[in-house]
Amino acid sequence: MLNGKSILITGGTGSFGKKCTEIILQNYKPEKLVIFSRDELKQFEMSQVFSEKDYPCLRYFIGDVRDRDRLYRAFYGVDYVIHAAALKQVPAAERNPVEVIKTNIIGAENIINAAIDCDVKKIIALSTDKAANPVNLYGATKLCSDKLFVAGNSYSGYHGTRFSVVRYGNVVGSRGSVIPFFKTMRETGTLPITDARMTRFWITIEQGVKFVLRCLELMHGGELFVPKIPSMNIIDMARAIAPECKHNIIGIRPGEKLHEVMITDDDARHTLEFDDYYVVEPEFDWWSNEKHIANGAKQVPEGFRYASNTNNRWLTAEELKELIKDR
């Protein structure tokens, strides 16, 4: 569906954006692929790998999702938008709440308005497991963002712009994640562990990108897509990365959860299950679950909850080592 289309990635120079660019250029022939981000240095560095000379469809566009006028300029003639821009560091968000609100919430509103007015066909926004029953500001802003994108379908009117959301867990090896941190700390002989009971969902960046592109094709507008991915205990992860290291229990940081949830039991009543993902359906009058049931979906049971500690899929130490060996 991307062949001959114009695609824009917000936050295009981040971990997700770079991998998404790579996969799109390898597998599709878009008319135009716009990398929208605010950092000129990162755009320059990315252009050394993906140059406009080697890939004539590429455009590097400096801008910020906080700047509504700039979004209008960038979205002109675009068919699909993949929204990956966000401020996502939990401790930084707690210390700088207004800045995170401006990017994650006001930025989402700007994208929705610009997309509708510029007749963008589809928008898919990246969310996070921290948006389900949030306990920190980052998760709360992403929950607001999710709600905004879902509601955007109700007022796109005759423009017909459709919005959906993808929610998944921690990305293996992404910037600021625990895996590169543990790799750095193993030189000291001791790894700081927040809580030995802690669990998290894990997904690779390649899996995340491919799932987002798949959902871009499957979406009707208003769905929240959640992939079925494995969990891992923090101690098992530490032992896999640095088996020779001692552990220093430091306690859970402000704004952190012991376990992550991607689908709450309150969402279960309107959640459908497929073989390898879930769809949390919108509660719109015009929505019909026949859109997905026709493709083999089934309603999850009452009281269902998709959490990292009760997951039925777990990542082994050997599997983790295989995933991070080249990272």
Of the pLDDT bands very low, low, confident and very high (cuts 50, 70, 90), residue 287 is confident
Check whether 185 has a pLDDT greater than 60. yes
> In the CATH scheme, what is the homologous superfamily, with its name and number, of domain 6-169+204-228+263-305?
NAD(P)-binding Rossmann-like Domain (3.40.50.720)
What pLDDT is stored for residue 175 in this prediction?
66
- Write the single-letter amino acid at 56: P
Check whether 295 has a pLDDT greater than 80. no
Q: What residues form DSSP beta bridges with 162?
A: 122
Check whether 45 has a pLDDT greater than 70. yes
For the chain, give the percent of residues with pLDDT over 90.
Answer: 76
Q: Which phi and psi (to 5°) does residue 205 adopt?
A: -65, -35
Of the pLDDT bands very low, low, confident and very high (cuts 50, 70, 90), residue 181 is confident
Average pLDDT value for residue range 71-83? 97
| Cα gap 286→153, rounded to integer Å | 11
User: Using alpha carbons only, what angle is made at residue 158 by residues 154 and 161, rounded to the nearest 5 degrees?
Assistant: 60
Q: Could you tell me the residue ranges of all domains in the chain? A: 6-169+204-228+263-305
Q: Which is it for the CA torsion 44, 97, 74, 28, positive or negative?
A: positive
What pLDDT is stored for residue 319 in this prediction?
85
Report the chain's mean pLDDT, rounded to a whole number. 92
Given 88, 122, 130, 291, which residue is catalytic?
Answer: 130
Check whether 98 has a pLDDT greater than 90. yes
Check whether 52 has a pLDDT greater than 70. yes
| Cα gap 321→294, rounded to integer Å | 39
* 241-267 residue pLDDT tens: 888 999 999 998 777 889 999 999 999
* 188-212 residue pLDDT tens: 999 999 899 999 999 999 999 999 9
What pLDDT is stored for residue 321 in this prediction?
80
Check whether 24 has a pLDDT greater than 80. yes
Neighbours of 130 (CB within 10 A): 28
What pLDDT is stored for residue 173 in this prediction?
67
Of the pLDDT bands very low, low, confident and very high (cuts 50, 70, 90), residue 280 is very high
| Cα gap 225→215, rounded to integer Å | 7
* 102-130 residue pLDDT tens: 999 999 999 999 999 999 999 999 999 99
Average pLDDT value for residue range 299-325? 88
Of the pLDDT bands very low, low, confident and very high (cuts 50, 70, 90), residue 218 is very high
Asked if 130 is an active-site residue, the reply is yes
Check whether 293 has a pLDDT greater than 80. no
What pLDDT is stored for residue 327 in this prediction?
57
What pLDDT is stored for residue 306 in this prediction?
96
Q: What residues form DSSP beta bridges with 261?
A: 307
What pLDDT is stored for residue 272 in this prediction?
95
What pLDDT is stored for residue 64 in this prediction?
98
